[in-house]
Amino acid sequence: MNNAEYADYAILAIGGSAGSLDVICNVLEALVAPTELAVVLCLHTGSRDVGDLCDVLSLHCALPVAEALDGETLAPNRVHVAGGGYHLLVERAGTFALCAGERIQYVRPSIDVLFESMAEAYRRRLAGVLLSGANADGAVGLHAIHRLGGLTIVQNPDTAAAREMPESALKLFTPDRQSSPSELVDAALDISRLARCIECRR
């Protein structure tokens, strides 16, 4: 896939768990600012308060980083972080919704729930990335992105601190890319450089 093909994507969704934080920080450092790219991040932290996580991510990112709030509009040039204790969904109108539903793969927020809702809302404009993690959350959601025409990237399990999450995706389907951390950084840089305006692509 060459750089020009990344121009089709205006929203970047990233999911990860154990062992993914360092990769996420490196990816965020690569994002150019300002950009028309919107970033949504779901990371298993085990905490209801993601304020400290947002502070840490802000140190590695030129874009504003904040917890995604119920009813808030997904906006470009911003990193939206799923809070703890609720599932985060993106509705077709481009707004966030919080749901206190059953835990999925023993976690809430669930990467699957977020990815599936974003796949329905953004289809071919969505790029989904699944990183290191110690459970299978995210595989089904990433597959939904793939089925609805979005770009799918899975961290190479050989480079992951916890292999189960990326391996679960690879067992389910063949993603567009299976990438090392450095390749993930390069992809994020290209997507953020080439992202088009969300509103003009609706």
Amino acid at 200: C
| Cα 31 from Cα 138, distance rounded (Å) | 23
| Cα 162 from Cα 39, distance rounded (Å) | 23
User: Which structure tokens are listed for 2?
Assistant: 């060459």
Does the bond joining 64 to the residue before it have cis omega, within 30 degrees of 0? no
The residue from 8, 20, 110, 137 that is catalytic is: 137
User: Which structure tokens are listed for 193?
Assistant: 């450089």
| Residue 17 designated active-site | yes
The residue from 17, 20, 132, 179 that is catalytic is: 17
The residue from 44, 80, 143, 146 that is catalytic is: 44
| Residue 44 designated active-site | yes
Element spanning 147, H or E: helix 139-147
- The residues carrying an active-site annotation are 17, 44, 137
